[in-house]
Structure 1
Amino acid sequence: MGWSPLIYTFVDGGEVPVPPDPALVRAVLEPHDVGDPRLTVGEDGTLAFWIRASDGSEAEVTADRHGILVSRPHAGAVFGIIAELVSRLGAVILDPGGSGVVCRAEELAHLPAGMREDAVVIEMTGEAVEAALTRPRHP
């Protein structure tokens, strides 16, 4: 896949996402990181991971004070890792490719008002995330 979903945490309908908890991001992603551990934390505090799931599917994940970018996720179990991260952060997934916002029911009320109507509410599992982000788009 050539697109990159974004993970953001919103609170109380605020328009600006809150920074992700770096310790939580590391706790979820480090066990799956196959990249160079010396490159995990950048000089500016940005976290970078190259994660691989048990089925060999992969994604590059970068987290900074604004949110998390998931670059080129492969189809497969890597979406389970992404779903775990999103759930534990109480976050949502923004798909710049067209499906809008994907979230659990718990996060729906925290979205900015303009995002709630078109949000896709799912159970946050790898299979549900992959289906919501990769389903065909209709104009």
Structure 2
Amino acid sequence: MSHELWIHKFAEGEPVAPDMDVIRAVLQPHSVSSRPPIVRDDGSMAIWIRADDGGDAELIASDSGILVDRPAGGQILGIIAELVTQLGAVIIDPRDGMFICRDEERAHLPAEFQQDAVVIEMTGPAVQDATTGPGRH
């Protein structure tokens, strides 16, 4: 993959800040030791993660959501799927604004996005299929 993904959490149609403690707990075991997490003055956090298969991604988390920059396919998407599940969040593919989520989170999306959301089992392979499958860029 050579694009970015966004992770956002919604409650009753409104965006809410993701839980930074959950983000740390899920991502810390995958943090690249040569580039430890950076916590900025504004409370945002940048962390570079790597999966066992060598895939990596940089994530920037803030109160408004999480940017996943250039996520590799494979196991890295399993880590992203776990993060999304633990946060109760959704993935947004900014190339076309597609919302990718579990059924539990679809009900919390703004009403105008609920019908067109792509509902998947939140696993690495399912995220890979939703973001790079047939008809995708």
TM range (shorter): over 0.9
Q: Which amino acid aligns with 2:3?
A: W
Match of residue 101 from structure 1: 99
Q: Which amino acid aligns with 2:76?
A: V
In structure 2, how many angstroms separate the alpha carbons of the residues matched to 1:120 and 1:99? 11
Match of 2:131 among 125, 133, 136: 133
In structure 1, how many angstroms separate the alpha carbons of the residues matched to 2:127 and 2:89? 13
Match of 1:63 among 32, 57, 61: 61
How far is 1:99 from its partner?
A: 6.3
The alignment status of 1:9 with 2:14, answered yes or no, reads no
- Segments of 5+ residues of structure 2 without an aligned counterpart are none
**Aligned partner of residue 13 in structure 2, secondary structure:** coil
In structure 1, how many angstroms separate the alpha carbons of the residues matched to 2:73 and 2:13? 31
- Segments of 5+ residues of structure 1 without an aligned counterpart are none
In structure 2, how many angstroms separate the alpha carbons of the residues matched to 1:2 and 1:129? 14
In structure 2, how many angstroms separate the alpha carbons of the residues matched to 1:7 and 1:81? 13
2:120–2:126 Cα contact (<8 Å) kept: yes
Identity %: 54
How far is 1:7 from its partner?
A: 0.3
Match of residue 114 from structure 1: 112
Q: Which amino acid aligns with 2:35?
A: D
- Equivalenced residue count is 135
In structure 2, how many angstroms separate the alpha carbons of the residues matched to 1:137 and 1:97? 13
In structure 1, how many angstroms separate the alpha carbons of the residues matched to 2:78 and 2:19? 19
Match of residue 20 from structure 1: 18
In structure 1, how many angstroms separate the alpha carbons of the residues matched to 2:118 and 2:35? 35
| TM-score using structure 2 length | 0.93
Match of residue 90 from structure 1: 88
In structure 2, how many angstroms separate the alpha carbons of the residues matched to 1:116 and 1:75? 26
Match of residue 35 from structure 2: 36
TM-align CA RMSD: 1.3
Q: Deviations over 1:76-127 (max 9, x none)?
A: 1000000000000000000012360000010010000111111000000111
Higher strand proportion: 2
Q: Deviations over 1:32-60 (max 9, x none)?
A: 010522x5211211111111001001111
Q: Which amino acid aligns with 1:25?
A: I
